[in-house]
Amino acid sequence: MNNYLQTHRYLLQFAIKPSVQRTAVMDYLLKNRTHPTIDEIYSALSPSMPTLSKTTVYNTLNLFLEKGAVQQLVIDEKNARYDIDMSLHAHFICKQCGKVHDIFNLKPELFEKPENTGFSIQNVEISYSGICNSCKGN
Amino acid sequence: MNNYLQTHRYLLQFAIKPSVQRTAVMDYLLKNRTHPTIDEIYSALSPSMPTLSKTTVYNTLNLFLEKGAVQQLVIDEKNARYDIDMSLHAHFICKQCGKVHDIFNLKPELFEKPENTGFSIQNVEISYSGICNSCKGN
DNA sequence: CTTTGTGCAAATTCTTTGCACCAAA
DNA sequence: TTTGGTGCAAAGAATTTGCACAAAG
């Protein structure tokens, strides 16, 4: 279980000045590895932090992005989604319910940066889409 | 060089009723393989079709999507981008200028749908990002 | 004190919707 | 003449911006 102090230290690793809000957001990301949207983060934290504003959540995530503490996923056309898991994994988005799931255990070759493309590739993102099992029945 | 009649026939392959607007949009997509945004398509066609509305461009692209005539790219967080090239290729987006480039000649294995993920995967999209050569100097 | 962060409201951007008019079969 | 397509304006949703106040060092 992460506690406030651990998360505090975690932020410092990325040279992010910890504030109450930033620590709460990072704490949420560490505990909820569900590629949340801004709105999901805000809605989850808002009850226990009534003064929190959505602007601050936006500011915070943009700061985390700049500092390299999170990755912005590109799989969902509707909302920006954020991921703290920097390990090699792909994502699956259900076209019906919109939920994003992790896919681990793929061959590492898939994530290699191809050579001789003429571009200096910094990031690789593999996205699958389809219908998830819960939606299949409907 | 495509002409109006060819594009007309091309639309019929996808069971899309050709109208002047739809033909113009498809013609643009066939000639400009630049993964354009709605706005780019609208701005390009508008001078020669002054009555064209952006709503029609939206309607048209949504219809093309439904009929499977184009693919919607997910690589650009800002705008929806469309691609008529359904062959196996990946994309590179420049984080600075936002241009999207094709990457062909990748190993076909990269585009295989992984087994035993627990999801029925319909679509695979591989996205690379970084800084393109034109932006590098700056 | 001075700098930085937060939060409200307003502004902006992208996309969809409602509805009247126009075009084609 | 009926069906479907187009285009305007308005609505909606996600995100950013401007600015005053609060917090932290």
Q: What is the DSSP letter of B113?
A: P
CB of A79 closer than 8 Å to CB of A34: no
pLDDT beyond 80 at B6: yes
Rounded mean pLDDT of B57-70?
Answer: 96
CA distance A109 to A120: 18
- Name the nearest CA neighbour of A40 among A7, A78, A67: A78
**CB neighbours (10 Å) of residue A7?**
21
Cβ neighbourhood burial of A132 (10 Å; 0-12, 13-18, 19+): buried
Amino acid at position B90, single letter = A
- Chain B positions touching A74 (Cβ under 8 A) are 74-77, 127
| Residue with the larger pLDDT of the pair B77 and A40 | A40
Q: In Å, what is the separation between the CA of B88 and the C1' of C3? A: 52
Secondary-structure class of domain B87-136 per CATH: alpha beta
In the predicted model, is pLDDT for residue B8 greater than 50?
Answer: yes
Residue A72: per-residue pLDDT = 93
Over the stretch B14-58, which tens digit does the pLDDT of each residue have? Answer: 999 999 999 999 999 999 999 999 999 999 999 999 999 999 999
Taking Cα atoms as reference points, which of B99, B104, B47 lies closest to residue B73? Answer: B99
Q: How far is the CA of A10 from the C1' of C2 (A)?
A: 28
* Half-sphere exposure of residue A133: CA atoms within 13 angstroms, side-chain side: 5
Predicted confidence at residue A137, as pLDDT, reads 64
The Cα B18–Cα B16 span in angstroms is 6
Q: Which amino acid is at A7?
A: T
Q: Which of A57-61, A90-94, B4-8, B78-82 has the least mean pLDDT?
A: B4-8
SS3 call for B2: coil
Mutation target among B72, B126, B134 for the A interface, most CBs of A within 10 A = B126
Joined tokens for residue B52: 């064209």
Picking from A8, A32, A40, A34, the residue whose alpha carbon sits closest to that of residue A22 is: A8
Q: Does any strand D atom come closer than 7 Å to the Cβ of B46?
A: no
DSSP element (H, E) containing B103: strand B100-103
pLDDT band at B1 (very low <50, low <70, confident <90, very high): very low
Q: Verify if strand D has an atom below 7 Å from the CB of A40.
A: no
Amino acid B14: pLDDT: 96
A5: distance to nearest CA of chain B, Å?
34
Domain ranges of chain B: 3-81, 87-136
- Whole-model pTM: value is 0.90
Query: To the nearest 10°, the Cα dihedral for A83, A88, A93, A98?
Result: -10
Smallest CA–CA distance, residue B68 to chain A, in Å, is 15
Q: Which token pair is A120?
A: 């200096």
DSSP three-state, residue B8: helix
Strands B90-94 and B100-103, sheet pairing: antiparallel
Digit-coded pLDDT (tens) for A67-80: 999 999 999 989 99
Q: Quick one: fold of A3-81?
A: Arc Repressor Mutant, subunit A (1.10.10)
CA distance to partner chain B, nearest, from residue A80 (Å): 7
State yes or no: pLDDT of B85 exceeds 80: yes
A119 CB near a chain B CB, below 8 Å?
yes
Burial of residue B57 (CB within 10 Å: 0-12, 13-18, 19+) is: buried
pLDDT tens sequence for chain A (138 residues): 457 789 999 999 999 999 999 999 999 999 999 999 999 999 999 999 999 999 999 999 999 999 999 999 999 989 999 999 988 999 999 888 888 999 999 999 999 999 888 899 988 999 999 888 888 765
B96-105 tens-digit pLDDT: 888 899 999 9
Element (H, E) at A94: strand A90-94
CA distance B28 to A27: 48
Q: What percent of chain B has pLDDT over 70?
A: 97
